[in-house]
Amino acid sequence: MLKLVDKIILGIETSCDETSASVVKNGREVLSNVISSQVDLHQKYGGVVPEIASRKHVELIIPVVNQAIEEAGITPDAIDAVGVTYGPGLVGALLVGLSAAKAIAFAWGKPLVGVHHIEGHIAANYIQHKELQPPFVCLVASGGHSHIVHVEDYDRFKILGKTRDDAAGEAFDKVARAVGLGYPGGPLIDKMAKNGNPKAVDFPRVYFEKGCFDFSFSGIKTAVLNYLNSAEQKGEKYSVEDVCASFQAAVVDVLVTNLISAAKHTNSKKVALAGGVAANSMLRKELEEQAGRAGLEIYYPSPILCTDNAAMIACAAYYEFVRGNVSDLNLNAIPGLKLGERG
Ligand code: KG4
Ligand code: ZN
């Protein structure tokens, strides 16, 4: 078993539209987790505008880091390493956090630890569930990714399935826009769906051959758009609540079915959720029911740890750091970084 040591990590995350810094002790004890969301800025464009995100990160990164250190009640000399997301994500956004992390590491003489963003999302579960240890199977579903990952060890990951087109969160955001809800769409669809009938419309569920745990969400999204267009052309009224509930049911069905099949395939006893979509109430409920029936233990982070935050990055950095996986100051941002690869 991995020997845990007394270490304090400063984590930095700027891969998309959240500027975040956090101080985490021994991998799982969050001393501070400052998240400055830019959602309000991007809302009027219906999605994240990369150039605006980068500029805002530049403005916020130093104040956010300072606040994280202050709220943690520590001084910089107490920090053992600086962990930072270096991919995947928006290149301009990643570069701001990475440059700040490198400058801090250099100026304060601390080791730098580059973290894969998805590894961070998975690590959020360690913060929430102090007893959780690998191996387990984790569904990582966010605005940019939908992966089923076999977490074999803290730093060993095997991708069992991934989306072949849209990410789950992306599908939520696009459908939300089509039915006239705002951005980000996931939480709004989740809320509307509570008053809708999930069986009202039979949207398609896409499954691949046996033993393949990939996803495809563009078909569900197109089916929703066709349903709305056809209703409009016929002058028929439709219930937004029913459309939201039925769309959500289709996505959740596929996510839960593939996650449970992947757990069985790998003889895993534990399944976890991670990423923004992991906050979805129907996904959690369905997984609890179905995984419970399959005799699996279920783990998911609280909503604040599901969305992008630096505590999860500091936690992942801790497990890399105690294994001696440190980066040098030439580390570059890699927008398409693959899980399990090191830059
Ligand atoms: O992990 P995250 O904060 O950022 C990325 O790395 O992408 O995920 C954001 C995504 C958005 O697409 C958002 O609509 C979705 O997660 N999301 C949800 C819910 N809350 C956030 N999707 C479904 N149900 C929710 N409750
Ligand atoms: Zn994310």
pLDDT tens track for 1-32: 566 678 999 999 999 989 999 999 999 999 99
pLDDT at 118 over 70: yes
Ligand number nearest to the C-alpha of 169: 1
Q: What is the pLDDT of residue 237?
A: 93
**Ligand 2 ion: Cβ-proximal residues, 5 Å cutoff:** 142, 308
Q: Is the pLDDT of residue 166 over 80?
A: yes
Which residue type occupies 201? V
For atom 14 of ligand 1, which residue has the closest CA? 186
Nearest bound ligand to the CA of residue 307: 1
pLDDT of residue 184: 86
Closest by Cα among 102, 140, 178, 146 to 278: 140
Q: Decide: 169 in ligand 1 pocket, CB within 6 A.
A: yes
**What is residue 30's predicted lDDT score, i.e. its pLDDT?**
98
Report how far residue 226's alpha carbon sits from residue 243's, in angstroms, rounded to the nearest whole number.
Answer: 12
Q: What is the pLDDT of residue 157?
A: 96
Phi-psi region of 119 (alpha: psi -120 to 50; beta: other; left: phi over 0): alpha
pLDDT in tens, 79-102: 999 999 999 999 999 999 999 999
Are 179 and 46 a contacting pair, CB within 8 Å?
A: no
CA 28 to chain centre: 18
Q: Cα–Cα distances in Å, from 299 out to 102, 163, 232?
A: 33, 22, 42
CB 334 within 8 A of CB 88: yes
* Nearest alpha carbon, ligand 1 atom 8: 276
**Cβ 14 under 6 angstroms from ligand 1:** no
In this prediction, residue 148 carries a pLDDT of: 98
Percent of the chain whose predicted confidence (pLDDT) is above 70 = 98
Q: Amino acid identity of 53?
A: A
307 lines ligand 1 (CB under 6 A): yes
Whether 34 contacts 49, CB under 8 Å: no
- Structure-model confidence comparison of residues 90 and 48, the more confident one: 90
Q: What local confidence, expressed as pLDDT, does residue 343 receive?
A: 61
Mutation test of ligand 1: which of 33, 90, 142, 194 has the most ligand atoms closer than 8 Å to its C-beta? 142
Q: What would the mean pLDDT of 278-287 be, rounded to a whole number?
A: 97
Closest-approaching ligand to the CA atom of 13: 2
Asked whether residue 272 carries a pLDDT value surpassing 70, the answer given is: yes
Q: Does the beta carbon of 89 lie inside 6 Å of ligand 1?
A: no
**Residue 37 confidence (pLDDT):** 84
Predicted model pTM: 0.95
The 10s digit of each residue's pLDDT in 172-216 is 999 999 999 988 899 999 999 999 999 999 999 999 999 999 999
Say yes or no to pLDDT of 34 above 70.
yes
Angstrom distance (rounded) from CA 205 to CA 215: 9
CA-nearest of 332, 316, 310, 334 to 115 is 316
* Cβ 144 under 6 angstroms from ligand 1: yes
Mutate to test the pocket of ligand 1, among 172, 273, 308 (most ligand atoms within 8 A of CB): 172
The CB density around residue 195, as the number of other CB atoms within 10 Å, is 12
SS (H, E, C) 197-239: CCCCCCCCCCCCCCCCCCECCHHHHHHHHHHHHHHHHCCCCCC
Which residues, in sequence order, are CB contacts of 206 under 8 Å at separation 6+?
Answer: 215, 216, 217, 219, 220, 254
Strand partners, 140: 147, 274
Q: What is the chain's mean pLDDT, rounded? A: 95
Whether the pLDDT of residue 132 is over 70: the answer is: yes
Tens-place pLDDT, residues 285-342: 999 999 999 999 999 999 999 999 999 999 999 999 999 999 999 999 999 999 877 6
Residue 131's pLDDT band (boundaries 50, 70, 90)?
A: very high
